[in-house]
Amino acid sequence: MTSRLLLVEPSTTMRFVLDNYVQSLGHTVVSVGGYQDAVDALRDQFQSFDDDFDAIILGWPSIAVREADTLTALLEQDDFHALSVVVMSTDQRAETRAWVADRPNSAMLAWKSYESIDEILQSLTQSNGGTRDTSHAASPESAAVKFDNSDIGVLLIDDSPSIRESLTNVLTLHGYRIHAVASREEALQMIGEEVIDIAIVDFYLQDETGDEVCRDIISVNPSIVCAILTSAYSDPIIKLSLRAGAVDCFFKNEAGELLLARIDALSRVVRQRKALSTEQIRLDRLVDTLAGATLLLDEANQLTYVSDQAAKQLGYADRRELVGQSATAVLDPEKLTQLGSGRHKAQWVNSEQDTVDVVYRMIYLTGTTERMLNFKFSEVARSEPQPSNSMAAAGIAAGLSKSTASAEPQAKKSFVSDAPTTAFSDSADPFLHQMFSYLDKQSDVSESVSLLILGVMFRHKDGSTMPVSDHEELSEIIHDSIMAIYRRENHVAQLAAHRYGFLLRHTDAPQSYLLTRKIMQLCNETPLPESLADKGELCVNGCLLGLEKQAGGAAHEVLSRAMSGLRAVDVRGVNQALLLDLKRMLPVYPGN
């Protein structure tokens, strides 16, 4: 398809590039460098036969230009309303997008994607009566016509259906991923299910205020950027909102362009955070690859940097547990100042408060007061080699039986009364062998692996509980349900009565926490048999332990530690999991 096009772009270089490219596609181009020249060309086009323009390519000004305002006003008039317009923009500001969104048969294209212009022109000229049709756009770049902000997820929380619909329409038109809900409960559920970057919260909800909801959102996911939506300017509302963690206040009666500009600003913050996070991950990988386990200390002996490998070596699931802490959490800083730079041997403390022998090299960083410590553990003989034959599972079972019998609490009233386990069922053998292979590094997998132990109970309406194994029909239902949750072969098994084990493979620690919570929720949602349907509900407790730090250790000791952790949870309550690596509790339902 060839057309007669009007190109207006003040920049000589950009006009030259686009003029040549569009002509190479077979189009006829009238090129002008001034907006007033474009106004004159549009008004004069009807003076000669067959000189009408099929479309205009408009280079949007980066600053306010009076002649450009005249041109855009002309394009909004009835005589030019049907003329296709492709706006070429370098920054895609909110006011630019608003103009394109309001004018039919218009589209926006980033200058960097100018080679997609032919597809955009076809889409516009083939659309009937001004409805944009981007189905002909074949390349990802051409999707910029829809204001591609799909990398930003926005959560709208407002109990007014009309406000939700209005904001959803505006933001969807500008390419954001929108999730609209009416209450705090729905918002927290949505955060658990979708990737949310920005939350916009109405201050006056039916049962709570926006600052309370904002505080809850940030407590669940601190990376979400929150803003408060209010109907009027009020100093007390703004102060409460900012104190709760909101970064901005939006006003319902402000202009749509201003609202978009505010959301654009928050989006830039989110993108900068993501870019910094990506760069940090890349640098961490470089440090782990080139330098290995590395710590940085400032002159006040505070840990300012901990590499991922260093955190794992010292038994921490997340290096952020150490960053900002005093060096005394790991080592003796006074000895560092006495020894100076060079290679040294010392005894440090890991996350379990056990003393470990390390060899480290200390370097004073030039131009700073910081010191870098690159370390590794000294070679220590294993206390007992692991079996590598078919007797492994039997050894694990015997060790666990002995450990659980000796560790059983005697005086406390427990959520579950654990009888000492004398043997595992035959169905558990493949699971135990699989666990042993992970501990002994026999399985070649790129993911991390964690052990999750669950205890499933039935809680009567009066608060009393019974193991599901005490009810034959319920026990069978639970067994079938759990076996269907995680279908990776040999990675789930019934270990003993109402105790189930999972070997979770995951990319990082947060993913293992999400898997734990989801599995526990699915257990609770198992349909009850008719004989129990109205008598109570299912509840479940769990204990999660990463196997990477346990590599090479005795399998029965790992299982014993996880079982002991589960008993500690049982005493505390229901529907919780102990994250042994973090030494903290994870509620199954965070809103409760």
Q: Phi and psi (nearest 5°) for 116?
A: -90, 5
> Is the pLDDT at 380 greater than 60, yes or no?
no
Looking at residues 99-114, what average pLDDT do you find?
Answer: 82
Whether residues 117 and 13 share a domain: the answer is: yes
Of 150 and 410, more confident: 150
Partners of 296 in the beta sheet?
Answer: 305, 372
- Would residue 130 count as lying in a domain? yes
Are 12 and 141 members of one domain? yes
Give the model's confidence band at 196: pLDDT under 50 very low, under 70 low, under 90 confident, else very high. Answer: very high
User: At 472, is the pLDDT very low, low, confident or very high (cuts 50, 70, 90)?
Assistant: confident
- Give domain status of residue 455, yes or no: yes
- Give the span between the Cα atoms of 143 and 166, in whole angstroms: 23
Q: Which 3 state secondary structure label does DSSP give 167?
A: helix
Average of per-residue pLDDT across 319-328: 86
Q: Label the pairing between strands 198-202 and 225-230.
A: parallel
Structural domain includes residue 221: yes
Provide the residue range defining the domain that includes 13. 4-146
> What one-character DSSP code corresponds to residue 209?
B
Q: Give residue 36's pLDDT.
A: 92
Residue whose entry in the numeric block shows the structure tokens 């978009």: 260
**Top-confidence residue, 204 or 388:** 204
551 is a domain residue = yes
Per-residue confidence band for 136, with pLDDT thresholds at 50, 70 and 90: very low
Work out the number of other CB atoms within 10 angstroms of the CB of residue 296. 19
Q: Are 481 and 523 within 8 A, CB to CB?
A: yes
User: Can you give the three-state secondary structure of 394-441, one letter per residue?
Assistant: HHHHHHHHHHHHHHCCCCCCCCCCCCCCCCCCHHHHHHHHHHHHHHCC
Instruction: Quote the pLDDT of residue 416.
Output: 33
Per-residue pLDDT at 562: 87
Higher per-residue confidence, 529 vs 13 = 529
Question: What CATH number is associated with residue 129?
Answer: 3.40.50.2300
Q: Is residue 382 part of a domain?
A: no
Short-list 570, 571, 548, CA closest to 454: 570
- CB proximity list for 566: less than 8 A, separation 6 or greater: 453, 454, 455, 499, 541, 542, 543, 578
Q: Does 347 share its domain with 274?
A: no
- Select from 278, 304, 324 the last residue of a domain: 278
Asked if residue 257 and residue 358 are part of one domain, the reply reads no
Query: Which one has a higher pLDDT value, 134 or 169?
Result: 169
Condensed to tens digits (0 to 9), the pLDDT of residues 440-465 reads: 775 666 778 999 999 999 988 888 88
- Could you tell me if 86 and 104 lie in one domain? yes
> 161 and 138 in one domain?
no
Angle (CA) 518 521 524, round 5°: 155
Question: pLDDT band for position 105 (50/70/90)?
Answer: confident
Work out the widest C-alpha separation in the chain, in whole angstroms.
101
pLDDT band at 426 (very low <50, low <70, confident <90, very high): low
CA–CA distance, 332 with 349 (Å, rounded to integer): 9
Question: Residue 130: its pLDDT value, please?
Answer: 41
Q: Is 578 exposed, middle or buried (0-12, 13-18, 19+ CB in 10 A)?
A: buried
Taking only Cα atoms into account, the Rg of the chain, rounded to an integer number of angstroms, comes to: 32
Q: Is the pLDDT of residue 592 over 80?
A: no
Average pLDDT over residues 576-586: 84
pLDDT given for residue 145 in this prediction: 38
Query: In this predicted structure, what is the pLDDT of residue 129?
Result: 44
Using alpha carbons, list the distances in angstroms from residue 251 to 177, 256, 265, 414, 560.
Answer: 21, 10, 15, 53, 57
Query: Phi and psi dihedrals of 515, rounded to 5?
Result: -60, -45
pLDDT at 378: 66
- Examine residue 65 and state whether it is found in any structural domain, yes or no: yes
Neighbours of 169 (CB within 10 A): 11
Which of 113, 146, 179 marks a domain boundary?
Answer: 146
Average pLDDT over residues 222-229: 91
In a domain, 477, yes or no: yes
Summarize pLDDT for 22-34 with one digit per residue, the tens.
888 888 999 999 9
Please check whether residues 565 and 464 belong to one and the same domain. Answer: yes
pLDDT for residue 259 is more than 50: yes
Say if residue 421's pLDDT is above 50.
Answer: no
Per-residue confidence (pLDDT) for residue 455, from 0 to 100 = 92
- The answer to the question of residue 232 being in a domain is yes
Q: Does one domain contain both 141 and 158?
A: no
Give which of 497, 501, 496 is closest to 467, Cα–Cα.
497
Q: Are 10 and 59 in contact (CB under 8 A)?
A: yes
Q: Which of 76, 250, 60 is nearest to 170 (CA)?
A: 250
Residue 555 has pLDDT above 60, yes or no: yes
| pLDDT reading at 364 higher than 50 | yes
User: Is residue 551 domain-shared with residue 502, that is, in the same domain?
Assistant: yes
Digit-coded pLDDT (tens) for 82-103? 888 999 887 667 777 778 877 8
pLDDT, mean of residues 302-327:
87
CATH number at residue 493: 3.30.70.270
pLDDT exceeds 60 at position 398: no
* Confidence label for 408 from pLDDT (cuts 50, 70 and 90): very low
Running DSSP on this structure, what letter comes out for residue 5? E
Per-residue model confidence as pLDDT tens digits over 531-554: 888 899 999 999 999 888 777 666
Kindly state whether residues 8 and 125 are assigned to the same domain: yes
Which of 146, 163, 192 is a domain's end point?
146
pLDDT over threshold 80, residue 427: no
Residue 541's CB is within 10 A of a number of other CB atoms, namely 27
Do 133 and 177 reside in the same domain of the chain? no
pLDDT tops 80 at residue 400: no
pTM: 0.41
Would you say residue 580 has pLDDT above 50?
yes
Decide if 357 contacts 377 (C-beta within 8 A): yes
Contact 325, 302 (CB under 8 A): yes
* Region at 539 (left for phi over 0; alpha for psi -120 to 50; beta for the rest): beta
DSSP bridge partners of 224: none
Cβ pair 36, 67 in contact under 8 A: yes
Of 43-52, 308-317, 363-372, minimum mean pLDDT range? 43-52
- Residue 404's pLDDT is 41
- Does residue 417 carry a pLDDT above 50? no
In this structure, are 339 and 436 located in the same domain?
no
Out of 392-396, 450-454, 474-478, which region has the weakest mean confidence (pLDDT)?
Answer: 392-396
- Supply the mean pLDDT for the chain: 79
Q: Which region, left, alpha or beta, applies to residue 340 given φ > 0 means left and ψ of -120 to 50 means alpha?
A: left
Number of domains making up the chain: 4
Mean pLDDT on 178-200:
91
pLDDT in tens, 494-525: 888 788 999 998 888 888 888 898 899 889 88
Residue 135 pLDDT > 60? no
pLDDT at 131 over 70: no
Going by the DSSP 8-state scheme, the letter that residue 273 receives in this structure is H
- Reported in sequence order, the residue ranges of 84-235 that DSSP labels E, i.e. its strands, are 84-89, 106-110, 153-157, 177-181, 198-202, 225-230
Burial of 180 (0-12, 13-18, 19+ CB in 10 A): buried
Q: For residues 318-338, give the mean pLDDT.
A: 82
Residue appearing with tokens 């590599």? 551
